[in-house]
Amino acid sequence: MSQVKYTVDHEWLRMEDDGMVTIGLTDFAQAHLGDLVFVRLPEVGAWLAKGDEAVVIESVKAASQVMMPMAGTVTEINETLADDPGKANEDPLGAGWMFKMKVNDAAELNSLMDESAYAAMIKGQA
């Protein structure tokens, strides 16, 4: 079973069975951003350090960035989002994923929040 973790910046990370990590926006994030109109994804093969800008998002309300929650190499991007950024609004935890990466240190996932900790955090932000 895949493990999902959450960042304070409202991204979810799911460790897949093949050791890759899939990253996307949480439902909370997409709801607060509003309808997404543009998504710029990272280049496949790019190595990004923790804290680097990975994704640029523009919505009807604001522009935002997804920062790398951990270091790794981008292995796949969700090409669908280039033509249909609204997929991230419609299905943020499924078809709206943004990119996959091979992380340098999978143990870093342990420092992120589980679902109950994330739910408690956003309860105070709603």
In a domain, 126, yes or no: no
pLDDT in tens, 75-95: 999 999 989 999 999 999 999
Number of domains in the chain: 1
In a domain, 70, yes or no: yes
In a domain, 66, yes or no: yes
In a domain, 117, yes or no: no
Q: pTM for the complete prediction?
A: 0.92
Question: Is residue 54 helix, strand or coil?
Answer: strand
CA distance 88 to 81: 7
Summarize the confidence of residues 40-65 as an average pLDDT. 94
CATH number of 55's domain: 2.40.50.100
Residues whose CB is less than 8 angstroms from the CB of residue 16 and which lie 6 or more positions away in sequence, other chains included: 2, 22, 100
